[in-house]
Amino acid sequence: MKVRFARWYSALFIVPGLLIVVLSFVLIDDLGEAFPALAAGAIFLCIGLLSLGPLPYLVVRENEITVPLLGLRMFGFGSRIPLGSTDRLVMDGQRLVIRRPSGKRDKVEAWRWCANPADWDRMLRR
């Protein structure tokens, strides 16, 4: 099951990205001078648009939980946590926790406030 990002999270990147791109075209006459700002705006827009659709915040499978975090695992971001058939997903405040049958609690790098509320609730009912 994929848990999507919250809509406000996507807007947090899309709105500034659009502003940067539009203001770059309006305020800077030379395209060469506007390029750094245009590139930054495009990066913000891409992150925002990806988090609206194809990029999940959290993926829960039968045997693992993956937090892709923009697919930057090669840079140390993101995590993969094994999940057993008897493990339960519970909340610890706003954070997701895996409760193991032994009583051990493993914290997942995922918070409710960043997730789509409907997807998050559906995940916890699994």
Q: What is the pLDDT of residues 2-35, one digit of tens each?
A: 999 999 999 999 999 999 999 988 888 887 888 8
* pTM score, whole prediction: 0.78
C-beta of residue 31 within 8 angstroms of C-beta of residue 83 = no
Question: What is the predicted pLDDT for the residue at 54?
Answer: 81
Q: Which of 124, 121, 122 is nearest to 98 (CA)?
A: 124
**pLDDT tens sequence across 58-110:** 899 988 888 886 455 555 556 788 898 899 999 988 999 999 999 899 888 88
